[in-house]
Amino acid sequence: MAQLSYPCSLQQAFNFEKDKQVLVGHLVGITVAGKALTADIKLTVPTDNTTTADVVGAISHISWEGGYANPVHILCNISTKNKVEVAVLTHTNMTDTSVLFKFNVYQFDQVAKKYYLAFHTENADMKGLILKEGGDLALAIDEDPDMTVPSPLNYQFQISIMPQQIKQDLKVAVSDTDKFAKTWGVAVS
């Protein structure tokens, strides 16, 4: 399986410059253990740099090994309000580890000379569970602000998500015109 790994630019996400051609990622929405984080960061949409979108966070790295049962690993920066919500979750005995999430990763097509969606959920909620590593859940939030982009204050948030036992599609593209879907999750009857 081909591994997908997208190291995205926080600077470009928070301060979009149309002459820069680097990866940009948006965590559009996420609900962890029934708690929806607020889409309270306004970021430029690279495919139409005249519009903005309210998102939960700016992705700095997202990866997936490509297998049906492999987790999606997300590293992103979120607001102070969402940092508090995640901190509460990390200090709670979580019996519900369900996750609903959606994201967009934008890449620049050097031939077409424009941004396109390279890895995304097509605005559909993916259904997963927080990955358990040993006895610990793969969910973390930094206590101190990330100074990569000092304003607005933002905090690094990490989560690894295993698919629930249903077949879902993650969308992948290698150019503006070459697009396909890859299965994430296995349906169990």
Q: What is the predicted pLDDT for the residue at 165?
A: 96
The answer to whether residue 145 is domain-embedded is: yes
Closest of 162, 170, 172, 157 to residue 57, by C-alpha: 157
What letter would DSSP give residue 86?
H
pLDDT at 1 over 70: no
The answer to whether residue 12 is domain-embedded is: yes
The answer to whether residue 173 is domain-embedded is: yes
Q: What percent of the chain has pLDDT over 70?
A: 99
Distance, CA of 86 to CA of 142 (rounded, Å): 10
Global pTM value: 0.97
User: Mean pLDDT, to the nearest integer, of 106-129?
Assistant: 97
User: Which residues form the domain of 137?
Assistant: 4-184
Q: What is the predicted pLDDT for the residue at 128?
A: 98
Residue 75, Cβ neighbours under 10 Å: how many? Answer: 20
Closest of 142, 19, 123, 3 to residue 79, by C-alpha: 142
pLDDT at 179 over 80: yes
Q: What is the predicted pLDDT for the residue at 189?
A: 79
Domain total of the chain: 1
The answer to whether residue 189 is domain-embedded is: no
The answer to whether residue 56 is domain-embedded is: yes
Burial 150-165 (b: 16+ CB within 10 A, else e): eeeebbbbbbbbbbbe
Q: What is the predicted pLDDT for the residue at 2?
A: 83
CA 12 from centre of chain: 15
User: Mean pLDDT, to the nearest integer, of 150-155?
Assistant: 96
